[in-house]
Amino acid sequence: MIYDLLVIGGGPAGYVAAIRAAQLNMKVAVAEEKFLGGTCTNVGCIPTKAWLASSELFDGIKNAKKFGISVENASIDMRKVKARTNRVVIRNRKGIEFLLKKNNVEYFNAHATVKSLHSAKIGDKEVEFKKLLLSQGSHPIKFPPFDVEGVLTSDEVFSLDEIPQHLLIVGGGVIGVEMATFFSTFECEVTIVEIMDHILPTMDADVVEILTNALKKRGIDIHTKCKTLSVDKKENGYKVVFEDVERFEKSFDKILLSVGRKPNVFDDVKSLGVTLDNRGNVVTDEHMRTNLENIYAAGDINGKYMLAHVASKEGIVAVTNMNGKESKINYSAIPSVIFTTPEIATTGKTEDELKRENTEYIKGVFPMSALGRARTLEFNEGFAKILADKENKILGVTVVGPMATEVLMEGVMAVQNGFKLEELVEHIHPHPTISEILMQATEDALGMPIDK
């Protein structure tokens, strides 16, 4: 059988592209050797947020007295948290499989090896195709001195059956700070080490300050500009030697290495002659095409943005172009969301980026503590920030606080569609809601704040 499209990889890029291709009347097959849903569904976004839902609820119980509620003897059963998380993951996997079947996409739960520009072997079956979408995803980076038995990455951390007493998290990026938030909720002593100047290295200083203070209030020990010199496995854990201002050592039950991911580019793809960049990512143009006419790549494998929502959009862009309709992805308003406490959500340009580019800009800021809805939630940390050019065109939006990840979408639409400050502020925002903070920050940018 000759398929119009073979998709290798059933993650957010692959399964979304397959469904869209089928909707466009293409004969489609998907090959996924592990589980449908890829990193996001199985060892990324979904299980992380399931864990964080448990820790957020537990946090609320611990602080219930603020709301006039007394709760005693609350405890965590990590095995039950894990069981619930597994149910959520399996439900998502089954949902994807149902959608593929509903759209007449043929699904192979087997390894696919590309043999030529128009043929592949899936398991023990030879197939032919007209177009190929590479969406094999990525894997966690692991390197010395962390190539020691038992060191966890984000792929293995969900196997834990109990909360460690002392946890080292190497890497203060998104995965690191989210996991630190979870474990610190349950009387786990968490240490974060980050080789860069601060945690969340791509975020503005005002965002980093809020989160750093919040993590320290939770008892998390943070070391920046810090190198790990050695890791020694002991009977009951690890002895680790670090260096920042001076050398020091600490002992831990568990270590989580969260320093990024690398694309899954195997020898079969390399032998085709697909162009790779110096980091090993498959190079694509704005249409998701590789240097080979019938081969496209989407998601983590192209290394542009390792985010599930970007991968899905790239998959749709690829399939649209395969069908002769020009489509490009707009990377100017990619939303980035972090599920810490407080939540962090950004889109468009950051203030640091504008400074590096020597771009003149207007800034509006409104504190979360002055917002009515935040007060009802007993939440005082955070703010919203609106950045615009000298003509008042909105360039970037940042929200730090409760529900920040939910209210950001208004900012995404504003940046992507080139809204001006005057246009955003004209929209009537419901009261009392967290979404009002974007209106308040916009008023501040215009020099006419009402509640500040």
Which residues are within 8 A (CB) of 175 and not within 5 positions of it... i.e. 6 or more apart? 48, 154, 258
Residues with catalytic roles: 431
CA angle 240/242/246 to nearest 5° reads 145
How buried is residue 366: exposed, middle or buried, by Cβ count under 10 Å (0-12/13-18/19+)? buried
Q: Are 344 and 327 in contact (CB under 8 A)?
A: no
Q: Are 54 and 84 in contact (CB under 8 A)?
A: yes
Question: CB count, 10 Å around CB of 287?
Answer: 16
Tokens of 167: 């946890």
Q: Among 391, 392, 426, 394, which residue's Cα sits nearest to residue 408?
A: 394
Strand (E) or helix (H) holding 295: strand 295-297
Q: Are 18 and 7 in contact (CB under 8 A)?
A: yes
